[in-house]
Amino acid sequence: MPTPAPRSRAARARAAKRWYVYLILCRSNAIYTGIALDVGARYAQHLAGTGARYTRANPPRRLLTRFVCPNQSVAGKLEAAIKRLPAAEKRKLVGTTGAAARKLLLD
C-alpha cells in the first residue's frame, strides 16, 4: 500500500491558521455570509467594492459577527449551513460563539 504524500509546507501553514465565518449586514438589510482568514482585511475589501460581487451590488452597512473555526473545512461547512438559513435565523446567531453555532448547525 503506498504511503500518502506529505502535505506541502503551504498546506500545513494554511491548516494551522484559524478560519472565520462572518456575517455582514448590507444596506438592503440582507445578510451576507463569507469565510476568511483575516476578517478585518476581507471586510475592508467588501467596503472598498473589491470583495464579493454580491457586496459590490449590496454595499455592507456593518459587520454583524464572526465565528472562529479550527480549519477551512469546518468554516466552509458552517458557511454553507448558515447560507441555508432564513434571515431571521441568521440574525439569531449574532452574539453566539463559533462553538455554539457549529454545535447548532453542524451536529
- The C-alpha cell at 39 is 476578517
Residues 6+ apart with CB under 8 A from 58: 26, 27, 28, 30, 32
| Digit-coded pLDDT (tens) for 7-32 | 677 776 766 689 999 999 999 999 99
Write down the pTM of the prediction. 0.84
Q: How far is CA 102 from CA 13, 29, 79, 87, in A?
A: 23, 24, 10, 18
**Whether residue 77 has pLDDT greater than 60:** yes
Domains with residue ranges and CATH for the chain: 15-106 (3.40.1440)
Per-residue cell: 12:
500545513
